[in-house]
Structure 1
Amino acid sequence: MAVKVFDLNHDGNEYFVPFIRYYIQQQKFKEAAVSITKLGLQDHFEVNEVLIPLLIQDKVNMLENYVIGRPELQKQVVELLDGLCDRESNIEEFISQSGVEVVKRSNLNRKTLSKLAVRLMKLYQIPASLCPNISNARGYGALKYLLYKRYIEGTMGSGSWEEMVQSAVGDSVYLKEQLLEQLMCYNDLKEAVKWAKSFELPDSSIPQPVLEARDKFEQQQNTDDWDSEILSDKDMSVFYYQLSLPLDNITVVDDKHLLKICSERLAIPDTVIGIDSEWKPSMGAETVGVALIQLAVQEHIFLFDMTTLITILSKEEICSFMELVFCNPDTIKLGYGFDADMHMLVKGFPYFKDILVNVQRFIDLAETCNDENFDGEPDSARSKTSFTKSEEKGLSELVRQCFGKPLNKGEQMSNWERRPLRVEQLIYASLDAYVLLELYDHLQNHCKLNDINIEMEPQTKVNFSKKSKQDKKKAKAAGLTLRDKKKEKEEREQKMASLLHSKTDSNYVISPNELRVVCDTMLQGTGRYLRSCGVDVKIMENHEEHDQAIKIGTTEGRIILSSGAPFQRIKSYVGEEKCYNVLSMGAQEQATEVLKHFNVKVTQRDIFSRCQVCNGDQYAKMAQKDMQEIARRRDEMCKSSFKNEREIDNHLMQKFLEEYGIDIQNLTFVHNNVTIQIDIIPRPMISKVDMFFVCTSCGKIFWEGSHFSRICDQFSHILSLSEGSDKNRSNIYQT
Structure 2
Amino acid sequence: MSYRGIPAGYEDDPDFSCISDMVQKITVVPDITIAAGLNNENFDRTLSADVDNWFQNYKEQWNSYKRTPSAQHNLKVMLHRDPDPLLLALKLFANCPGCNNLKNKNLALFILETICDLHTQYPEISAKCSDNTRMVAFNFVKTCGIVSLYKSVMITYQLNKICEMLVPKIKELITQGHFKDAAYWTMNLQITHLFGIFDIIFPLILQDKVPLAEMYLNAAKDLALPTVQFLDSLLDKQKTVFEHCDEILTKYEYKDVKHTVLTYRPMSKLVTRLAKTYKIDSHFTPNLNFTKACSYMHFLWHKYRDGGMSCDAYRELARDAASTKPLQMDLITNVASYGEFDEVKYWINYFNIPLEEIAEDIREDLKRLQPSENTDEIQMLNTSSNETTSAVNNGGATNKSKRANATIPNNYLTLALPIDCVILIDDRVKFHEMLEYLQGQLLIAFDSEWKPSVCNENVISLLQIATPYRVYLLDCLSSQLSDELWQQLGQRVFNNLEILKVGFSLHQDLRMLHKSLPLQLNLNAKTCYLDLRELWRRLKYLQIVKFPFGCGSNSGGSLCALTELCLGKKLDKSNQCSNWANRPLRHDQIVYAALDAHCLLQVYQVIVDILLGIGLDFDEVVNEVTTGKTGYLFRMKRAFTEHNNECSTSVPDKGNIAKVPAVSANFAGTISTKFICDRMLYGLSKELRKLGIDCMEIIKDNLSHYVNIAKRENRYVLTRDTRYDLFLKILPQTQCLLIPNDTSVEQVLNILRLLDIKIYENNLFTRCLHCNSNEFILALRHELQVMRYGQALDDVKELSAGNVSPFERTFNLLNVNQDVLKSKTTYRGKPIKLNRINSHILRSKEHFYICDNCGICTWDGAHSIHGSVMDLILYNNCETDTAAGF
Structure 1 contact 53–98 (Cα < 8 Å) conserved:
no
Q: What SS does the corresponding residue of 2:272 show, helix, strand or coil?
A: helix
Alpha carbons of structure 1 residues 159 and 461: separation in structure 2 relative to 1, 3 Å: farther
Alpha carbons of structure 1 residues 195 and 95: separation in structure 2 relative to 1, 3 Å: same
Task: Indicate the residue corresponding to 1:334 in structure 2.
Answer: 502
Task: Indicate the residue corresponding to 1:130 in structure 2.
Answer: 284
Alpha carbons of structure 1 residues 44 and 406: separation in structure 2 relative to 1, 3 Å: same
Cα distance in structure 1, aligned partners of 2:292 and 2:577: 17
Task: Indicate the residue corresponding to 1:94 in structure 2.
Answer: 248
Task: Indicate the residue corresponding to 2:533 in structure 1.
Answer: 366
Cα distance in structure 2, aligned partners of 1:281 and 1:87: 25
**How far apart are residue 95 of structure 1 and its match?**
1.7
1:618-670 CA-partner distances (Å, limit 9, x unpaired) = xxxxxxxxxxxxxxxxxxxxxxxxxxxxxxxxxxxxxxxxxxxxxxxxxxxxx
Q: What SS does the corresponding residue of 1:49 show, helix, strand or coil?
A: helix
Task: Indicate the residue corresponding to 2:185 in structure 1.
Answer: 35
Alpha carbons of structure 1 residues 193 and 62: separation in structure 2 relative to 1, 3 Å: same
Where structure 2 has 5 or more consecutive residues not aligned to the other structure, the ranges are: 1-150, 386-400, 629-886
Counterpart pick for 2:419 among 247, 253, 256: 247
Alpha carbons of structure 1 residues 30 and 376: separation in structure 2 relative to 1, 3 Å: same
Alpha carbons of structure 1 residues 261 and 186: separation in structure 2 relative to 1, 3 Å: same
1:250-303 CA-partner distances (Å, limit 9, x unpaired) = 1111111111001001100x53111001111123x1122111110011111111
Question: Does 2:563 correspond to 1:399?
Answer: yes
Question: Does 2:448 correspond to 1:277?
Answer: yes
Counterpart pick for 1:237 among 406, 409, 414: 409
Task: Indicate the residue corresponding to 2:694 in structure 1.
Answer: none
Counterpart pick for 2:215 among 65, 74, 80: 65
Task: Indicate the residue corresponding to 2:551 in structure 1.
Answer: 386
**How far apart are residue 227 of structure 1 and its match?**
11
Identity %: 27
**How far apart are residue 328 of structure 1 and its match?**
1.1
- Normalised by the size of structure 1, how large is the TM-score? 0.57
Structure 1 contact 180–196 (Cα < 8 Å) conserved:
yes
Matches within 5 A, 1:42-61: 42-61=192-211
Q: What SS does the corresponding residue of 1:307 show, helix, strand or coil?
A: coil
Q: What SS does the corresponding residue of 2:600 show, helix, strand or coil?
A: helix
Alpha carbons of structure 1 residues 19 and 374: separation in structure 2 relative to 1, 3 Å: closer
Structure 1 contact 20–32 (Cα < 8 Å) conserved:
yes
1:138-182 CA-partner distances (Å, limit 9, x unpaired) = 112112211221112x110112101111232222x2221221122
Matches within 5 A, 1:471-550: none
Higher RCO (C-alpha under 8 Å, 6+ residues apart):
1
Structure 1 contact 294–301 (Cα < 8 Å) conserved:
yes
Where structure 1 has 5 or more consecutive residues not aligned to the other structure, the ranges are: 463-735
Q: What SS does the corresponding residue of 1:357 show, helix, strand or coil?
A: coil
Q: What SS does the corresponding residue of 1:370 show, helix, strand or coil?
A: helix
1:503-546 CA-partner distances (Å, limit 9, x unpaired) = xxxxxxxxxxxxxxxxxxxxxxxxxxxxxxxxxxxxxxxxxxxx
Cα distance in structure 2, aligned partners of 1:9 and 1:129: 42
Matches within 5 A, 1:262-273: 262-268=434-440, 270-273=441-444
**How far apart are residue 449 of structure 1 and its match?**
2.4
Cα distance in structure 2, aligned partners of 1:96 and 1:88: 20
Structure 1 contact 193–213 (Cα < 8 Å) conserved:
no
**How far apart are residue 458 of structure 1 and its match?**
3.4
Cα distance in structure 2, aligned partners of 1:101 and 1:10: 29
Task: Indicate the residue corresponding to 1:103 in structure 2.
Answer: 257
Q: 1:116 is matched by which residue type in structure 2?
A: L
Q: 2:322 is matched by which residue type in structure 1?
A: V
**How far apart are residue 217 of structure 1 and its match?**
7.1
Cα distance in structure 2, aligned partners of 1:204 and 1:113: 34
Q: What SS does the corresponding residue of 1:292 show, helix, strand or coil?
A: strand
1:40-79 CA-partner distances (Å, limit 9, x unpaired) = 2221112122222222222212211110154431112211
Alpha carbons of structure 1 residues 69 and 435: separation in structure 2 relative to 1, 3 Å: farther
Cα distance in structure 1, aligned partners of 2:624 and 2:364: 63
Counterpart pick for 1:169 among 308, 319, 322: 322
Structure with the greater alpha carbon radius of gyration:
2
**How far apart are residue 459 of structure 1 and its match?**
5.3
Alpha carbons of structure 1 residues 139 and 167: separation in structure 2 relative to 1, 3 Å: same
Q: What SS does the corresponding residue of 1:95 show, helix, strand or coil?
A: helix
Matches within 5 A, 1:315-354: 315-349=483-517, 352=519, 354=521
Matches within 5 A, 1:334-733: 334-349=502-517, 352=519, 354-372=521-539, 376=543, 383-388=548-553, 392-453=556-617, 455-458=621-624, 460=626
Structure 2 contact 489–519 (Cα < 8 Å) conserved:
no
1:232-257 CA-partner distances (Å, limit 9, x unpaired) = 96463312111121221111111111
Structure 2 contact 423–471 (Cα < 8 Å) conserved:
yes
Q: What SS does the corresponding residue of 2:553 show, helix, strand or coil?
A: coil
Q: CA RMSD in A?
A: 3.1
Structure 2 contact 426–481 (Cα < 8 Å) conserved:
no
1:309-342 CA-partner distances (Å, limit 9, x unpaired) = xx44443432221122212122111101111111
Structure 1 contact 369–389 (Cα < 8 Å) conserved:
no
**How far apart are residue 385 of structure 1 and its match?**
4.1
Q: 1:109 is matched by which residue type in structure 2?
A: T
Q: 2:342 is matched by which residue type in structure 1?
A: K
Cα distance in structure 2, aligned partners of 1:324 and 1:217: 63
Cα distance in structure 2, aligned partners of 1:11 and 1:425: 69
Alpha carbons of structure 1 residues 214 and 373: separation in structure 2 relative to 1, 3 Å: closer
Alpha carbons of structure 1 residues 79 and 406: separation in structure 2 relative to 1, 3 Å: same
**How far apart are residue 402 of structure 1 and its match?**
1.5
Cα distance in structure 1, aligned partners of 2:372 and 2:464: 47
Q: What SS does the corresponding residue of 1:410 show, helix, strand or coil?
A: coil
Cα distance in structure 1, aligned partners of 2:164 and 2:477: 53
Counterpart pick for 2:432 among 223, 239, 260: 260
**How far apart are residue 430 of structure 1 and its match?**
0.6
**How far apart are residue 346 of structure 1 and its match?**
2.5
**How far apart are residue 20 of structure 1 and its match?**
2.0
Counterpart pick for 2:304 among 107, 131, 150: 150
Cα distance in structure 1, aligned partners of 2:566 and 2:371: 49
Cα distance in structure 1, aligned partners of 2:303 and 2:161: 56
1:2-42 CA-partner distances (Å, limit 9, x unpaired) = 37735969899555433322322333222111111222222
- Normalised by the size of structure 2, how large is the TM-score? 0.48
Alpha carbons of structure 1 residues 185 and 9: separation in structure 2 relative to 1, 3 Å: farther
Cα distance in structure 2, aligned partners of 1:16 and 1:314: 61
Alpha carbons of structure 1 residues 209 and 229: separation in structure 2 relative to 1, 3 Å: farther
**How far apart are residue 228 of structure 1 and its match?**
14
Alpha carbons of structure 1 residues 383 and 219: separation in structure 2 relative to 1, 3 Å: closer
Q: 1:291 is matched by which residue type in structure 2?
A: S
